[in-house]
Structure 1
Amino acid sequence: MAASGMNVRLALETSDRQPDGMGGHRLVWRQLGWIWARMDARSGREQGMGAGMVSVVQWRITTRGAPVGDPRRPRPGQRLRLGQRLFLIEAVAEADALGRSLDCFAREEDLT
C-alpha cells in the first residue's frame, strides 16, 4: 500500500511507432511499470452527437515525485491504465514546492 492516500495501482504506458507494412505506422502501447496514485475526478461532459457520443472525464492523478528526465516520471502523451480504463496524460506538474509529488492532468474517454 502506498502512503499519502496513494492507494490506486496504475500501469504507466508509452506509445511506440511501428511500421504497418504499407508505408505508414501504427501506435503500439507498452507498459513501463507500475505507480501508486491518488485519483480525483475534476469535471466531466458528453461530447459528440447521436451514436457518436463520448463521455469525457478530466482527472487529477497524484503520484510520487520524480525529476524531469527520470523514466519513472509520467509525461504528456503517455497514459495510465486501471484495468480496462485508460487515462491519457495531458500535462504534468509538481504538486508541491519540494517536488515530492506530481499532479498528472489526464483525460478519460468512455464510448457510450
Structure 2
Amino acid sequence: MIDPGRLNTRLTLQAPVESDDGQGGVVRSYAPQAVVWARVVQHAAREGVDADADRAMLRVAITLRGGVALTRAHRLIDGARIYRIVSWRKRDAGTWLEIDAETRLG
C-alpha cells in the first residue's frame, strides 16, 4: 500500500473526442476529464531511443487512487508533458491504480 502523502504530482486525465473532418474521416482531440493526484516514478533501465526515432521515450509508473475509468485512448498531462497509457492494473482491491505509461523526451 502506498502512503497517500506520496501522491505529489497533479495530473489531468484527458479523454479522446472525435469529430468529423468533413472528408469522411475523424479528427481526434482531447478534453479534460478529471484532475488527479499521482505518484510518477521512472522505470529503471527502460529509457531508450529506437533506431528510427527522433526522440527518446521515457517509461514511467504512475500510481493514483482507484475509481478512475480508463482506456488506452486516454492520456495524462503534466504541464507540457503528455503520458501515453500503455497498461494498468488495480492494487489493494481497487484502492490504487498502477499505470504503465511513456512520454517523449526532448
Could you say what secondary structure the match of 1:17 adopts?
strand
- Cα distance in 2, alignment partners of residues 59 and 93 from structure 1: 14
Q: Could you tell me how far apart the structure 2 residues matched to 1:86 and 1:103 are? A: 17
Count of residue correspondences: 102
**Structure 2 length normalisation: TM-score?**
0.86
Any conservation in 2 of the 1:90–1:105 contact (CA below 8 Å)? yes
* Letter in structure 2 aligned against 1:108: T
Q: Is residue 99 of structure 2 the alignment partner of residue 109 of structure 1? A: no
Q: Please list the CA deviations of residues 9-38 of structure 1 after superposition, one character each: whole Å capped at 9, or x if unmatched.
A: 000001111111111111011110100000
Separation of aligned partners in 2, 1:63 and 1:108:
17
4+ residue stretches of structure 1 with deviation over 3 A? none
CA distance in 1, matches of 2:40, 2:104: 15
CA offset at residue 57 of structure 1?
A: 0.9
Counterpart position of 2:20 = 19
Cα deviation for residue 40 of structure 1 reads 0.7
1:100 matched residue in structure 2: 95
TM-fit CA distance, 1:95: 2.6
Q: Which letter does structure 2 place at the counterpart of 1:93?
A: R
Coordinate RMSD, CA, aligned: 1.7
Distance in 2, matches of 1:35 and 1:73, equals: 12
TM (normalized to structure 1)? 0.82
Aligned to 1:73, the other structure's residue is in SS state: coil
- Paired with 1:79 and 1:65, the residues of 2 have a C-alpha distance of 16
- Give the 3-state SS of the residue equivalent to 1:47 in structure 2: coil
Q: Equivalents in 2 of 1:12, 1:58: separation in Å?
A: 18
Equivalent position of 2:32 in the other structure: 31
3-state SS of the aligned residue for 1:90? Answer: strand
* Code of the aligned partner of 1:47: D
Whole-Å separation in 2 of the counterparts to 1:16 and 1:48: 32
Deviation at residue 73 of structure 1 after TM alignment: 2.9
**8 Å contact from structure 1 (residues 37, 62) kept in 2:** yes
Q: Residues 74 and 104 of structure 1 are in contact (CA less than 8 Å); yes or no, is this contact kept in structure 2?
A: no
